[in-house]
Each structure stands twice: as C-alpha cells, then as structure tokens.
Chain A
C-alpha cells in the first residue's frame, strides 16, 4: 500500500512562532488530505489538495502540494495555543482506503 513519511514527529514552539510539518512520498500521489487531532479528541478534516503545486490557505494555515505531487506541507503562521494538537496527512492507500502519516505533535508554550 501507499506509504507516506511525516516529519517532524514532535515540535515545541513558543506562541507566535511559525510551525511547519511535512509529508513525503516516494511515489506520485493522486491527492492528499490533512487532519488535526486535539489532545484527547478525534481527527478532524482540514483540507484536501489535488492539483500539482496547489496552495490553499485557511486563516493562519497554509497548505501546499508539491509540483511533483510527492510531498506536501502544512505551515502555521504565528502559532497560538489553540493550534496545539497532532496534525496528520493522509493519502490514498489503494482499494478505497486512506493511509495516514504518523503525525506531527505540536505543543505551543506561552
């Protein structure tokens, strides 16, 4: 099945600093989804990217899909304590299934 590597595993930042998490694949992806999971919560869909080089923004969050459709990034500008959680990418795993990355856990300190 489709494999995707997500880095970093953990990230601690001071409030107001920027944050970026990356997902990388060895093969071309048809699309990629991003989810956020708050501590003690469940994953919640954020966005889907489909086109090569696509960039989408949601307030302070910027999502990019690489030109070769093999990697993607999620960038948060000026983090806030509400950004705390684990961010997952997810890609088509074949057979109508998604394969999730291992996630990046973000902690924001005041």
Chain B
C-alpha cells in the first residue's frame, strides 16, 4: 500500500538513551518532514528535507538530528533522550513545495521518555 510508514508505533525509553525513529515513503516525494504533536500546541516542525542530501531546521530542532541519504527514508534521531521529548512524532511528505501541495502524514510514533 502506497504511503508513509513509521516505526516503531510506540516506544518507552529511558532518559539518556539514543533512539532513532524511522520513516519511509514510497510515493517518490521530494520533501519530507518531522513534526511533534503535544496537547494544546498543535504540530510543530522539527526538521525537514526538500530533497535527498539536504536537510533543514524547523521550529523545534534542539535535541534532534536527521539525515536524508535517499528519497524514501528520513530517520529522526534523539541522541540522548530527555523527558520533554515525550510526544507523538509524525513524519510527512509532499511532492512539491508544501505551500502548494498536500502533505501526507504517517501513522505516528508515540514516544515516552522516563
């Protein structure tokens, strides 16, 4: 089924541990994004990539890193998790500039940092 997959679905993580959230899309979209969603704060952009090989910082990038080695994959890494990173993480993609095209979202990863 075409779309975006994310893994894991949920994770409980001890503070200080390293964690990589995986995101893969099979729509050959150029642009990909990582958001976190917290109650009352909506969706906040963490990092984005307009095309393979390039990445950029969003609104809340601190404590996170990304890479875009190819078109399909866009992993998000927490180098040393902290409790404030407890959130639901969504990966998204779009074929062109997001201001003129639809963003497609993955099912999300629910992360709890203890």
Interface residues of A (CB under 8 A from B): 1, 6, 9, 30-31, 33, 35, 41-45, 48, 88, 90, 92-93, 95-103
Contacts and interface: CB of A to CB of B under 8 A. Distances in A.
A96 B98 contact: yes
8 contacts: A33-B103, A42-B106, A43-B105, A45-B104, A97-B45, A98-B103, A99-B45, A100-B43
B98 A98 contact: yes
Interface in B71-109: 90, 92, 97-100, 102-108
Interface residues of B, number: 27
A51 B12 CA distance: 45
Given A9-B40, A97-B48, A100-B42, A45 B90 contact: no
Contact of B108 (A30, A42, A97): A42
